[in-house]
Structure 1
């Protein structure tokens, strides 16, 4: 219970940049003494610092355009392996993200399939393939993540029978599942994750054991995890217990 609260407090501070102790007490329904002890424990990690009347995040988010270079070798290997899961006549969804975007390099060129996506990188990569039918969702372009976000009518996605959804996540946790931080992206992710026949998660080793603000799917809902390195014993045991296939590049 305490470990989860510490994680939630840390994430809350990072998402809000600066927060007061009173705000944290109200948010997490604990006393000021408890918050002070929790903050002292988190501060030792170096990710937040005490300021007058509260705390502040010391971790600057990495811009999306620079995140692709981090773990780039891993991301390419993951995407190559994930693309090998595409079969003739599949209707697949490809999520926006710095790992999923690499799939465009490895699309099979000798089979017909349909891509549903909100990722600009995937749109550009698929546009030149004559056998690919390309469907785009999202009504607002978000330059920071190179994705189209927001849908006027969530039921519009009901007409698509998605065989496989290739999903990205900012964090992957046994407790919190597949998480991200953007409310507009979250809406599309959650709907697709619920309706896809097969949910395929692409995540490099840095994503596991972390969580962010919003959970769009439980980890047990995943059918296949494609990653770069063997998972920790804890994640391996969870996957075995829930019949989740693990592929490593």
Structure 2
């Protein structure tokens, strides 16, 4: 991982505060800026910065003296079976390419997601590999194979069969892996890698911390999209496998950040 623990710690506190703001907004449909410092035990300057961040993510609209809900969030969470149907052919190409990066003897982490679920199907016959995952469906996929599976504990997100939260994070911090394959709901060069659930974002962030190499697997639809839970900055990944035809600016950005791009 390229980021420091201190930086990750700061990000966690910021994301927790942003989630609290969105929870308040969901209840009230409107926020009054001057009331938030007392509610959240922080400064008015911090609150203004938080509201700017949430507005950039498309989650609220700032108004004079406060903020209001937008009609529709850019990134509502979808059930796993719904996600699997989106750009299926692209995801299958990505999964096949990702499988070629796994060697005998590797210990890998498969984060929950539709593309990583397809990757699990591709690696059943690779010898002497260990798969660490927080996805119940991935563990089930590998049950009748020679792949050694470690399913971490945690709180269950029922829509996605995903285990997240403090128990999951604590377990992950006690292990290490050669490679992490991670799929996200959005990739935005300004905001970073995002997912709708903030606890899932935290768990994915810990996965990045304990993996020697972070490989992002995203189809073309994920670019330019954003959601509430920020996992990390784009520059924190090592490789990306994607189907998107990158613009010159995107190619330059990846190159500047030292990220290897694989197109399929």
When normalised by structure 1's length, the TM-score is 0.76
**Counterpart for residue 247 of structure 1:** 262
1:69 aligns with 2:85: yes
| Structure 1 alignment gaps of length 5 or more | 1-7, 31-37
**Counterpart for residue 79 of structure 1:** 95
| 1:88 match: secondary structure | coil
1:215 aligns with 2:230: yes
Answer yes or no: is the 8 Å Cα contact 1:224–1:245 preserved in 2: yes
| Structure 2 alignment gaps of length 5 or more | 1-17, 37-43, 50-54, 62-66
User: How far has the Cα of 1:230 moved from its partner?
Assistant: 2.3
**Counterpart for residue 33 of structure 1:** none
Tell me: CA distance 1:184–1:58, structure 2 relative to 1, closer, same or farther (3 Å): closer
1:57 aligns with 2:71: yes
Answer yes or no: is the 8 Å Cα contact 2:26–2:69 preserved in 1: no
Tell me: CA distance 1:24–1:102, structure 2 relative to 1, closer, same or farther (3 Å): farther
**Counterpart for residue 29 of structure 2:** 19
- Paired residues, number: 223
1:115 aligns with 2:131: yes
**Counterpart for residue 205 of structure 2:** 190
When normalised by structure 2's length, the TM-score is 0.72
- Provide the C-alpha distance between the structure 1 equivalents of 2:89 and 2:27, rounded to a whole number of angstroms: 31
Tell me: CA distance 1:160–1:181, structure 2 relative to 1, closer, same or farther (3 Å): same
| 1:172 match: secondary structure | strand
Answer yes or no: is the 8 Å Cα contact 2:180–2:211 preserved in 1: yes
Bigger shift: residues 102-111 or 86-95 = 102-111
Answer yes or no: is the 8 Å Cα contact 1:83–1:108 preserved in 2: no
- Provide the C-alpha distance between the structure 2 equivalents of 1:67 and 1:18, rounded to a whole number of angstroms: 30
- Provide the C-alpha distance between the structure 1 equivalents of 2:91 and 2:27, rounded to a whole number of angstroms: 29
Answer yes or no: is the 8 Å Cα contact 2:178–2:211 preserved in 1: yes
Answer yes or no: is the 8 Å Cα contact 2:153–2:171 preserved in 1: no
Answer yes or no: is the 8 Å Cα contact 1:116–1:137 preserved in 2: yes
- Provide the C-alpha distance between the structure 2 equivalents of 1:147 and 1:122, rounded to a whole number of angstroms: 10
